[in-house]
Amino acid sequence: MVREDIRNIAIIAHVDHGKTTLVDQMLKQGNVLRTNQQIADRVMDSNDLERERGITILAKNTAVHYGSTKINIVDTPGHADFGGEVERILKMVDGVLLLVDSFEGPMPQTRFVLSKALALKLPVLLVINKVDRPDARCDEVVDEIVDLLDELDADPETLDRPILYVSARKGTATTDLAEPGVDLKPLFETILKYIPAPEGDENGPAQVLISTIDYNDYVGRIGIGRISRGKLSDGMMVVRCNAQNEGALTPPWRLTALSVFDGLKRVPAPTVSMGDIVALTGLPDISIGDTVCDPSLVEPLPFVAITEPTVTMTFSVNDSPFAGREGQYVTSRHLRARLYRELETDVSLRVKDGDTPDCFEV
């Protein structure tokens, strides 16, 4: 069965090529935000460090509606240091938008995130952003992208798809530079035409691969993934298994809540079906790579190996002469609690106690 009412896409790019700004405009033109609603720029960069640095660190889900189709969008990091975020998120989507700056062209991290998408055989739509820059060199950048795709052995069909020329800041898109865009309609239309709709057995036993984790102090861990088969209902009994752990099973447990993404919010959903990206709760230690199944047919899904951390640092309590003069949480107890809380949601992070009680290896 094919669900034509849904598209699942990820936006991948090098740092600062404008993907979060593009998501802002897609939200506005997808009737998610009211015309008079006040929001911050780069609304998807909700983490404090992301807003400070102006980059995306954590992958996030949102959704817009275009006509009768719901487009689930994942805004991914554009740096190899956050590869654990990129790799697992791509398991939830059926295609990607490759966003490239019209002046800078493809950068080293463009190669990194694009290679991950091509390894999963995902269709790629090419998007040249910031075409309104006075120093834009769109033709040369297109040639550079074609060369990169050839180096990475991309599917020849990638070059047969239209190239979109976008100004994310202005919220316009066109497939022909000679005809300036007026809105993002060409982008939405191209997504619907060239990104495949999810396929699967909607009536079979439920199966969903957990690709990312969120955490809430009230409900604990929240597993997020795309349903590959069947339906899930609020309150139904399920089991958890893991392909990397020799199919290890948990006893049946009850789903306590289900929700889907709609705009910037999660909306409770009594039932979700094949192709939906769902957030579910009920198992305190649910983890990335787990498969949640109907007990009648337990089949763990394979999960991509996460890139190991590339940098190791030691965090310790401030012992300088200025210690204690600023900051709210300055003791080793607070530092340890904060670092270990981050482990609840970041699969590519490793934390262990250091040689002394006041330091930690991250």
d(Cα 290, Cα 247) in Å, to the nearest integer? Answer: 9
**What number is the average pLDDT over the span 282-305?**
85
- Say which residue the tokens 């896409």 belong to: 9
Predicted local confidence at residue 46, as pLDDT: 43
- Say which residue the tokens 């392909």 belong to: 243
pLDDT: which is higher, 107 or 236: 236
| Domain containing residue 83: CATH number | 3.40.50.300
**What number is the average pLDDT over the span 175-187?**
91
Is the pTM value of this prediction over 0.85? no
C-alpha distance from residue 182 to each of 71, 173, 186, 187 (Å): 21, 7, 9, 11
Whole-angstrom Cα Rg for the chain: 21
Could you read off the pLDDT of 117-166 as tens digits, one per residue? 888 889 999 999 999 989 999 999 999 999 998 998 888 888 888 999 99
Q: 145 with 34, same domain?
A: yes
pLDDT above 70 (res 254): yes
Q: Render the burial of 183-222: b for 16+ CB within 10 Å, e for the rest.
A: ebebbbebbeebbebbebebebbbbbbbbbbbeeeeeebb
Q: 57 with 177, same domain?
A: yes
Let me know: does 129 contact 99? Beta carbons within 8 Å. Answer: yes
Predicted local confidence at residue 278, as pLDDT: 92
Let me know: does 24 contact 33? Beta carbons within 8 Å. Answer: no
Q: Provide the domain count of the chain.
A: 3
d(Cα 59, Cα 113) in Å, to the nearest integer? Answer: 13
Q: 127 with 28, same domain?
A: yes
Helix (H) or strand (E) run with residue 53 in it = helix 48-53
Q: 80 with 182, same domain?
A: yes
Q: What angle do CA 41, 45, 48 make, to 5 degrees?
A: 105
Could you read off the pLDDT of 107-130 as tens digits, one per residue? 877 787 788 888 888 999 999 999
Helix (H) or strand (E) run with residue 147 in it = helix 138-151
pLDDT above 90 (res 302): no
Q: What angle do CA 334, 335, 337 make, to 5 degrees?
A: 65
Q: 263 with 131, same domain?
A: no
Answer whether residue 306 is part of any domain: no
Q: Which among 13-27, 54-68, 260-274 has the top mean pLDDT? A: 260-274
Compute CA 34 distance to the chain's CA centroid, rounded to the nearest angstrom.
Answer: 24
Judged by phi (left if over 0) then psi (alpha if -120 to 50, else beta), residue 320 lies in beta
Predicted local confidence at residue 83, as pLDDT: 46
**What number is the average pLDDT over the span 277-297?**
88
Q: 35 with 126, same domain?
A: yes
d(Cα 179, Cα 182) in Å, to the nearest integer? Answer: 9
pLDDT above 90 covers a percentage of the chain that reads: 28
Domain-ending residue, one of 194, 226, 248: 194
Predicted local confidence at residue 124, as pLDDT: 92
Let me know: does 1 contact 228? Beta carbons within 8 Å. Answer: no
Q: 56 with 174, same domain?
A: yes
Average pLDDT in the chain: 81
Q: 240 with 280, same domain?
A: yes
Q: 233 with 158, same domain?
A: no
Could you read off the pLDDT of 310-319 as tens digits, one per residue? 788 888 887 7
Q: 92 with 156, same domain?
A: yes
Domain-ending residue, one of 142, 163, 194: 194
Pairing assessment for the beta strands 95-101 and 6-13 based on DSSP bridges: parallel
Judged by phi (left if over 0) then psi (alpha if -120 to 50, else beta), residue 248 lies in beta
Could you read off the pLDDT of 184-215 as tens digits, one per residue? 999 999 999 999 999 989 999 999 998 888 87
Q: Which residue range forms the structural domain that includes residue 337?
A: 314-361
d(Cα 295, Cα 230) in Å, to the nearest integer? Answer: 12
Predicted local confidence at residue 47, as pLDDT: 43
Kindly give, in sequence order, each residue whose CB lies less than 8 Å from that of residue 79, ignoring residues fewer than 6 positions away: 15, 55, 109
